[in-house]
Every structure is written in structure tokens, then in C-alpha cells.
Chains A and B, each alone.
Chain A
């Protein structure tokens, strides 16, 4: 599970995609991965079109290639699993480069690989061109319960604080000669995380009191009443429409 969440994935820029309304971007991202998910693996050309569309969007967003590739490494364990599938899958076998593989397994591996790569590219574009609070704002405008986006906003606001508190505890432990190597030496870390929970929870109570004293009523005010124009929806809708049509054709043809 990702320990690599120390910082967000936003890549500062001023492309047209950066400036699209967040709700249009979030909706488009979901619609796109959904269309790709519905595309049958027996139509490889369809994924070629999907990938080309995503790559075009990446280029339009002016995200650096190295940034995108570094973000993609997060799916590496699943790629490894997908590459194993042809060897452990059942069904009629075929020989590739002298190795015996299951034919259905190859299709299955291809299906997972191409959909996972597509999905992570979409996620990288969405998170790379949209700031955290904007994504939450977009979700809120798409009628995700305010409670959930509120909790998420709180989490994002306090996670770096709690993480650095944790880092300070760790430094204090190291300074006192704590250098654990085995699981049965983990007690101080567990104690520290217990203490961290108590401190976090108490901080939550204090923050809540402070918010109440400043007139908090349960929801945060919308400070950016920018509503998307029709062009935002049109632009953001283009990739998912292409992917949707591709998926429909692929379903009919195969």
C-alpha cells in the first residue's frame, strides 16, 4: 500500500487542461476509465485508440514524461502479477519464444496490463493538473456527499502535520538509540503510534472547537463560485466520448 503519499501529485502548469473546471475533469476521468473497462480485450485496436487519446491529453497537459513515468511505477506489483498470468492460467496452451503459455492467459494479461496503464495515465493526468482541494470541490459539485469530501479535506489539511509529528517522534526515538531490526522490537513504535492517535484525536477536538468559535455550521463556504461553461464540459467530454464510441464499436464488431 502506498507509503509514497508524502506529497501530492499536482504538477503546476497553465495548460488548457489545468484550467478546466474540476467537476468536468473528474466526471470525464470516471467516464473514460469506465469506457475502457467495458472494452472487450478481444479488440486490441480499441485500446490503441484509447491509449492514443490519453497520450494526447498528457501532451496537451504539458506534463513532463519523467513525471508521468515516475507516477506510473505505483502499479508495478500488479504489472508483475499480470506478467505471471500466462504461466499459471488454464486453458489451451501455445508456445511463445519457446515458453509454454496459456492462450486465454495471454489475453487476460493483456487486458489487465492495458486497462491498468490506461487507468493510471488518466489518474496521473487528473491529479497532475488539478489541485487537491479542486478535486474535492469537483466531487462536491458532482453531488458526492459533503460529509465525505469534508472529511477528505480535513484529512488532506492535517496529514502533513501529523506525518511530521510522527517524523519528530521517530527522530526522538533514534536520538535515544532506538534502531529496531526485528518485529519483537516494535513496541516503542506501536506506543508512539498509539500516542499519535491520542494527540491527533485531541487535536481534532480542539480544531472543531476553534471552528465553532469562528462560525462553522457544518459546511465550508464555496470560495470559488466558478461554474464551468459549456466549453469546459465539451472539451473534457471529448476523450470519454471517443473511448465510449470505441468501446461500443468494439463490442459490436467482436
Chain B
């Protein structure tokens, strides 16, 4: 998601830049309160950890690999403010020193990859923690769901920015559908890895998990007993349910966001596009008359196609990247 220069228009780049700068300014102040004068070394080493974690390949399917994005992980371990600062430094360094991501794109890249996963993710995390019982297992489960959702959340943010700052007349629903679809799948891996990693830290140094600070040793004493397999199956089920349910809202024409766009004068983003005659145009399946069923089938087919494309990409690049975690090719799970 390291967008290059020119992906969104100059106004959006400037607006997101100001938002990001403002949020990071506030986060820095909170980080200083939290870490004191240890701030620079601790946040710096944590940033190096997130940077390294993005090179830590984990298996996805049939020997293919993906890697962590780490936004939600950083927020859960370090708190939203320090997490946002840490990931911002990673993203900004990647742009400035590793030429990954455009300089004028820094505003929205930081917003999408650092601020939204950290603060949005942490809000989800706190909400889930409130629903779940107060113990270590809940922290692990909430971490997994938070990380899993933070990825499509970032994709949604990008789609919204596209709505306001598109440099080409690609309709919002096309961008939104493909971005969120692909990132739902990436989110499964992110969720599984984040949950297990938080579980590991919780077992060794529970005091380092900011998101679990409110729990005492007795409450944490239950060892998270959920296997990775359960997370994978749960993640896939969530994606399927999400697609089936969300497709009901994506239904006919102006959905909420498009309506907003129309009123704000971005009406052209709601025009029909070149795929208008395709099988799933408007997210309904041709030949099935029951509308909810039809929409659900379209949603499921969307997940299926995305999964197939995803696995196709994985299979295509699989052999190049085995072996060492420090391999230099970029991960397929990170496209977009």
C-alpha cells in the first residue's frame, strides 16, 4: 500500500498530509508522557522491530508466504499513540531512505498505514475487550480480530480518499470492492500472526502489552489455548459472512458513500463503468431473481474470485521467495 506520487490529486495529498501531521503531533506529545525521556530509544528500537517484522515471512498456503504489516500489532503492544508514531517513522523512512512510496504521497500513506490501523484498530480492540471476558485469551482473540480488521479498514480509508481525490474516473465501488476484497484476505494472515505474537509476548512479559495493562497476573494466568488453525477457519468464515452481509448494503444505486459523493459534487464517481455488463454488475447475479440471495451469491463469488486470484499470485511468485527471511523480493501479500 505504499502508494507512489500522483496516485491521488494534490488537494487530497495536502489535506491528508495536514491531518497526518496534526495527529502525529498529538501522538508525539502522548508518547512523551507515556515513555518519558526513554521515548527515542524505545520507540526507535520498536520501529526497528516493526521494520524487521515486515520482513518476517509466514506461510500462507502451499508454501507461499506473506508478511506482517504491523500497524495493529504496534498499537496493541505499545498503545495507539506510540504505535502510530512508530509505524509513521517506518513508513516515512521507507519513503525517504528506501524510495518506497512517493514523497507527496506521504500524507495518505501515513494516514492509511500508520494512523488508521493504530487508532482505528485500537478503538476496535477496546470495543472487543469490553465485550469479551477479562482474561488473557480475550486479549489474544481481540488482537487477532483487530489486526484482521485493521487491514480492510486501511483499504477502506484508501477507497474513501480515492472518492475525493481520484486522478482517474474509476468508480468508487470498483476501487472499494477490489481493495477491501483483497485486503480482507491479507487481513486473515495479519490477524492470525498478530494474535499469536501478542500471545507470545503476553506469556513472557505481560507488562509489555499496553492493551492488557488493565489485567492483573491472576486474570492473565489462563494460557491462550487457541490454535492457529482455529484462527484461519474463523478468519475465512468472517470473510464469507462479511461478503454475504455487506453485499446486501452494496445493493442498488446510491449507497451511503456514493450519496455523500453526489451531494458533495463528485457525482461522476457513481457512473456506470466498463464492467457494467459483466455478470456481477451492481453486485447482483444475473439469472437469480431473489435479490438477497442473488446479492449474497455475488458477494461470495467475489470472495471466491479474490481468493483464487490471490492464490494464483501466490503460486506464481512462490518459488522465488522461499528460504531466508531476508530474501529481497517483495511479498505477494502486500500488493496494493
Binding site for B on A (CB under 8 A): 1-6, 8-9, 26, 29-30, 33-34, 36-38, 41, 71, 74-75, 77-78, 81, 85, 87-91, 93, 100, 102, 104-105, 107-109, 111-112, 114-116, 118-120, 122-124, 126-127, 132, 135, 139, 145, 147-148, 150-159, 161-164, 166-167, 170, 180-187, 189-198, 200-201, 203-205, 207-208, 211, 218
Contacts and interface: CB of A to CB of B under 8 A. Distances in A.
B6 A115 contact: yes
Contacts of A87: 274
Contact of B55 (A3, A135, A155, A187): A3
Contacts of A93: 274
Contact of A85 (B40, B168, B324): B168
Given A88-B273, A90-B169, A111-B168, 6 more contacts: A5-B94, A126-B99, A183-B61, A194-B198, A196-B56, A204-B41
B201 to A, nearest CB: 4
Contact of A119 (B4, B51, B67, B193): B4
B169 A6 contact: no
B189 to A, nearest CB: 6
A39 B67 CA distance: 36
A208 B42 contact: yes
Interface of B: 1-7, 10, 13, 24, 28, 32, 37-49, 51-63, 67-69, 77, 85-86, 88-90, 92-100, 102-105, 113, 166-171, 174, 188-189, 192-201, 203-205, 208, 227-229, 231-232, 268, 271-275, 324-331, 334-336
Contacts of A71: 99
Contacts of B32: 147
A6 B328 contact: yes
Q: Is the interface of B mostly helix, strand, loop or mixed?
A: helix
B168 A3 contact: no
Given A194-B199, A195-B200, A203 B168 contact: no
B98 A2 contact: yes
A185 B227 CA distance: 9
B232 A183 contact: yes
Nearest to B50: A155
Contacts of B231: 184
Contact of A2 (B174, B188, B200, B330): B330
Contact of A34 (B104, B232, B334): B104
A134 to B, nearest CB: 10
B221 to A, nearest CB: 18
A181 B228 CA distance: 13
Contacts of A153: 44
